């Protein structure tokens, strides 16, 4: 029972943390802000999270782990490797979009938070890369793709999607993420990924 109460409160704090990050950005949000939103004292919050960084890390880890399960299911599907990669990329784009639509996220807050996650939690960013590399290897072994440096190409593809989103969001005049033209960004991502895929395909395929 004690663990259930602890876990429930922790999830409530995480939800409050997301709301604060979405509204005010990462730098401007403090544990005191989150505690105030929860009706708690700041010192009580330390029982659950030792720092703002620890809270963000747990949020990022839980989201990435949930998405990884979905990506693993794509690997198991009976599809050619090129279709699998496109499906992974589309799911990654939707993943970024859905997480920002769950709350009313200010565009400036999203851009700042993306940079923090990219710079501070590099150890958590290999999930999609490993999945994409596994599919590229599968494509080489099946004869669909030419032999190539699968690790490097996977890194390039994994980097491309969030980079395009960040670039388009940075150039946008929108105040909130949901106001940005997501469909246009998705089509741009898909076109670029298709260029890469066509470049590594065996020419008679």
Enter the tokens of residue 13.
């704090």
What's the pLDDT score for residue 10? 92
- Cα torsion angle, 10, 16, 19, 21, sign: negative
All structural domains of the chain, each given as residue ranges with its CATH number in brackets, are 53-200 (1.10.357.10)
- pLDDT band, residue 101 (cuts 50/70/90): low
Paired strand residues for 145: 201
pLDDT digits (tens, 9 = 90+) for 72-89: 888 889 999 999 999 988
Residue 200 CA, distance from chain mean position: 26
What's the pLDDT score for residue 124? 57
What's the pLDDT score for residue 122? 67
What's the pLDDT score for residue 83? 94
pLDDT digits (tens, 9 = 90+) for 4-28: 888 899 999 998 998 888 888 888 8
Q: Please determine, for residue 153, whether its predicted confidence score (pLDDT) is greater than 90.
A: yes
Name the residue among 100, 46, 116, 64 with its Cα closest to residue 34.
Answer: 46
Residue 166 CA, distance from chain mean position: 12
Mean pLDDT of 127-156: 94
d(CA 166, CA 171): 9
d(CA 172, CA 107): 9
CB 151 within 8 A of CB 133: yes
Long-range contacts of the stretch 166-172 (C-beta < 8 A, 24+): 166/111, 166/114, 166/115, 169/107, 169/110, 169/111, 170/111, 172/107
């Amino acid at each position: 029972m004690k663990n259930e109460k602890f876990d429930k409160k922790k999830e409530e704090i995480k939800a409050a943390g997301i709301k604060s990050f979405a509204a005010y950005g990462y730098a401007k949000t403090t544990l005191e802000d989150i505690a105030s939103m929860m009706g708690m004292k700041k010192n009580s919050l330390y029982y659950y999270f030792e720092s703002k960084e620890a809270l963000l890390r747990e949020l990022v880890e839980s989201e990435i782990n949930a998405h990884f399960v979905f990506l693993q299911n794509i690997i198991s599907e009976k599809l050619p490797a090129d279709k699998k990669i496109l499906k992974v990329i589309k799911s990654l784009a939707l993943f970024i979009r859905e997480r920002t639509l769950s709350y009313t996220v200010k565009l400036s807050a999203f851009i700042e938070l993306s940079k923090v996650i990219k710079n501070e939690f590099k150890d958590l960013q290999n999930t999609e890369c490993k999945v994409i590399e596994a599919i590229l290897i599968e494509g080489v072994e099946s004869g669909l793709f030419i032999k190539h440096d699968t690790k490097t190409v996977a890194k390039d593809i994994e980097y491309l999607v969030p980079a395009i989103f960040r670039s388009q969001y940075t150039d946008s005049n929108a105040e909130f993420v949901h106001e940005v033209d997501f469909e246009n960004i998705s089509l741009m991502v898909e076109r670029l990924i298709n260029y890469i895929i066509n470049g590594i395909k065996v020419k008679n395929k």
